[in-house]
Chains A and B, each alone.
Chain A
Amino acid sequence: MSTESLRIVWIYPDLLSTYGDRGNALILARRAQLRGMPVEVLEVRSDQRLPATADIYLIGGGEDGPQALGAQRLIADGGLHRAVAQGSVVFGVCAGYQLLGTSFYAKGAQYAGLELLDIASDRGPTRAVGELAGEVDARLGIPYLTGFENHGGRTHLGPGVSPLARVTAGIGNDGMTEGAWRGKLLGTYSHGPALARNPALADLLLRWATGAHQLPALDDTWAERLRSERRAAVAAARA
């Protein structure tokens, strides 16, 4: 960790917080605190400078206009690039996932992304709305991904990244793969509070940030029940 406490930065909640995105910051902070780690959560608005010294950066979802504006301001700010160069963890969700790539579409035009992930996004034929599920890349060592997606984009992965998961329900990137990761950067279309349904993913980000190989187990009874219920609902919808 960069300082005595785990620093989590929630990037631009004024622009990129469409639906419960705050949840990811709350969940990471809670899970760190339950392990006795001191935590500091900073909400950095789009008219503020981004600190380059935090451990985890979160970017949430947003409408087209705020997404384009957010990308422009992040590129101009440069703080996230410096943080990544120093080994910080970045977790991007939906619009926040797209803008980590080389380009994305908003309001009918192509915009430059941050070029932190080797992905490019364009528009799909239909809007992807509904449950999203997938089997996660085995190298990440976490169980299946479950979430809710709501986006019009399709994302194409280059050789510089690996898909986060193989889609079993929903669309994700393109109906085949979902999300992408490289090093300590990870993005997903599982929108809003994606970590609520995926506590192991939250712990993966915490392990990346702290360098810990293992974290003490927590009581995830309710999250496990939620995961099982959602998995059953997805299976029932397919049957």
Chain B
Amino acid sequence: MPLRAKVASSVSRTAAALSRAAGRGDGSVIGGWIGLKIDPDLLAHLSAGRAIALVSGTNGKTTTTRLTTAAVGVLGRVATNSFGANMPTGHTSALAKAGSTPYAVLEVDEHYLAQVLEATEPHVVALLNLSRDQLDRAKEVAMMAQLWRAALVRHPDVRVVANADDPMVVWAATPPADPAQGHIPPKVTWFSAGQRWHDDSWVCPECGATIQRSGEQWWCTGCPLRRPEPQWTVEDDGVLDPTGAWHKIQLQLPGKVNLGNAATALAVAAEFGVRPVDAVSRLGSVTSVAGRYAQVDRDGRNIRLLLAKNPASWLEAFDMADEAPTLLSINARDPDGLDTSWLFDVDFAPLRGRQVLITGDRAYDLAVRLDVNGVPFQHVRSFDEAVRSVPPGRLEVIANYTAFQDIRAELDRVN
């Protein structure tokens, strides 16, 4: 590593440690920010010599990154940005902090995928899904898919592990070959992780015609784009690998969506030569991910935290949650997006029959939504009031990003 990069890396680690010691955060962003100021190429320097996997998509990337890190851990030490700091500053911090490791698995914000592909030259990139998320500042879904596609064309050597169930992802992962330009389509391994949310892929990104669905199949009615045959699939409570072997998956994380994330993790790890049979037991060691799925006992209530940031992830959260009293908390601060319109893209009907409490900065938006949805609820002013308002036993908490962090803080920053 050049001297400048060494200095930058060392300063970056020190800043991160200081930030943690000062109680200002987990240091996962500030260290990288300072390091990149000293050496703008620091991320590239820190990436050199490591076999790297990038994990990107709208939903599930933090959990999939954690599961993939566990699976690749079969081979040796793995650096990762486990705090969900998923922009280049976070990647820089994570790699600097980890020191020399043969492997790295990095969660990447979907907007930064092109930049991080460029800097880290990964061995494999996993593309999970694309759906509407914070449209007041984020790119619209079709535009995001176009950016991914353009980035992959520039990196024909990278192995792609992509979701066959998401038409936007499939289109992004299969840019046209152009031998004259030296463009070779990337080598793609397809997985099927299921997808409850379809409302961002009714229109073909290639030709604008309608996309039809029947069961798990989908196809464009105007051009050849259709669901590729996946090599990795979820079947019952396990994963079928490309050889046809079935592996039982025992996760400590709830929901069918996490079985899909496990299949993805095994597919990514396999690109490094990890055999699924060696990795499955490690997946079961993942209990919670930066507070997601964490369980805390307080005053006789078993509180479980579920993060849901956009319509697609709310649908998955309802699937994971038990039939128990449920607290919903909604904020609309900068990291959440300032617009609460998406609440009307979520059908809250699965909550009918449960005791529902609502809180958060934007509880009134949620109140109007639940009213229209015919879901009775009670508005509470604080997390404590919510806990006091439910009987002993399970309390499911579903919250969007900053609301989730607020509640996590109430629970002593549970991981």
CB of B372 within 8 A of CB of A26, answer: yes
Q: Which of A20, A222, A225, A226 contacts B344 (CB 8 A)?
A: A20
For the complex, what is the distance from the CA of A193 to the CA of B136, rounded to whole Å?
14
Which residues of A are found within 8 Å of B369, using beta-carbon distances?
Answer: 23, 196
CB-contacts of B348-378 with A (<8 A): 364-365, 367-369, 371-374
Give A91 Cβ to nearest chain B Cβ, in Å.
Answer: 15
Stretch at the interface among A1-9, A11-19, A159-167: A11-19
Known: A14-B203, A46-B210, A129-B137. A22 touches B367 (CB 8 A): no
CB of B142 within 8 A of CB of A150, answer: no
CB of B339 within 8 A of CB of A192, answer: yes
CB of B368 within 8 A of CB of A19, answer: no
For the complex, what is the distance from the CA of A18 to the CA of B340, rounded to whole Å?
13
Question: Chain A: interface secondary structure?
Answer: mixed
In the complex, whether A215 has a CB less than 8 A from a CB of chain B is no
For the complex, what is the distance from the CA of A6 to the CA of B34, rounded to whole Å?
62
Give B308 Cβ to nearest chain A Cβ, in Å.
Answer: 15
CB of A148 within 8 A of CB of B364, answer: no
CB of A148 within 8 A of CB of B339, answer: yes
For the complex, what is the distance from the CA of A47 to the CA of B208, rounded to whole Å?
12
Q: How large is the interface on B (under 10, 10 to 19, 20 to 34, 35 or more residues)?
A: 20 to 34
CB of A19 within 8 A of CB of B345, answer: yes
Q: Which of A19, A69, A197, A226 contacts B208 (CB 8 A)?
A: A69
For the complex, what is the distance from the CA of A229 to the CA of B367, rounded to whole Å?
13
CB of A229 within 8 A of CB of B364, answer: yes
Q: Which of A18, A27, A150, A226 contacts B365 (CB 8 A)?
A: A226
Known: A47-B210, A225-B367. A18 touches B140 (CB 8 A): yes
Which residues of B are found within 8 Å of A22, using beta-carbon distances?
Answer: 344-345
Which residues of A are found within 8 Å of B340, using beta-carbon distances?
Answer: 148
Which residues of B are found within 8 Å of A30, using beta-carbon distances?
Answer: 372, 374
Which residues of B are found within 8 Å of A196, using beta-carbon distances?
Answer: 344, 365, 368-369, 372
Which residues of B are found within 8 Å of A21, using beta-carbon distances?
Answer: 344
Which residues of A are found within 8 Å of B112, using beta-carbon distances?
Answer: none
Known: A18-B135, A20-B344. A65 touches B208 (CB 8 A): yes
Which residues of B are found within 8 Å of A27, using beta-carbon distances?
Answer: 372
Q: Which of A20, A63, A129, A223 contacts B342 (CB 8 A)?
A: A20
In the complex, whether B415 has a CB less than 8 A from a CB of chain A is no
Interchain pairs with CB closer than 8 A, number: 88
CB of B136 within 8 A of CB of A129, answer: yes
CB of A226 within 8 A of CB of B368, answer: yes
Question: Which residue of chain A lies nearest to B346 when distances are taken between CB atoms in the complex?
Answer: A20
Which residues of A are found within 8 Å of B339, using beta-carbon distances?
Answer: 19, 148, 150, 192
Which residues of B are found within 8 Å of A226, using beta-carbon distances?
Answer: 364-365, 367-368
CB-contacts of A38-77 with B (<8 A): 45-47, 63, 65-66, 69
CB of B341 within 8 A of CB of A148, answer: yes
Which residues of A are found within 8 Å of B199, using beta-carbon distances?
Answer: 17
CB-contacts of A128-143 with B (<8 A): 129-130
CB of B341 within 8 A of CB of A20, answer: yes
In the complex, whether B21 has a CB less than 8 A from a CB of chain A is no
Which residues of A are found within 8 Å of B342, using beta-carbon distances?
Answer: 19-20, 192
CB of B137 within 8 A of CB of A191, answer: no
Which residues of B are found within 8 Å of A19, using beta-carbon distances?
Answer: 132, 135, 339, 341-342, 345
A–B pairs, 26, beta carbons within 8 Å: A20-B341, A20-B343, A20-B345, A23-B372, A26-B372, A47-B210, A63-B142, A63-B143, A65-B142, A65-B203, A65-B208, A66-B203, A69-B208, A129-B338, A148-B338, A148-B339, A148-B340, A192-B341, A192-B344, A193-B344, A196-B344, A196-B365, A196-B368, A223-B371, A225-B364, A225-B367
Report the 9 A-B pairs with minimum CB-CB distance, sorted nearest first: A192-B341, A23-B344, A20-B344, A20-B341, A14-B202, A226-B364, A222-B367, A193-B344, A19-B341
Since A20-B345, A225-B364, A226-B367 are in contact, a sample of 11 more A-B pairs with Cβ atoms closer than 8 Å, ordered by chain A residue number, is A19-B341, A20-B344, A22-B344, A26-B373, A27-B372, A30-B372, A47-B221, A63-B140, A191-B341, A192-B341, A196-B344
Q: B residues within 8 Å of A by Cβ?
A: 132, 135-137, 140, 142-143, 199, 202-203, 208, 210, 221, 338-345, 364-365, 367-369, 371-374
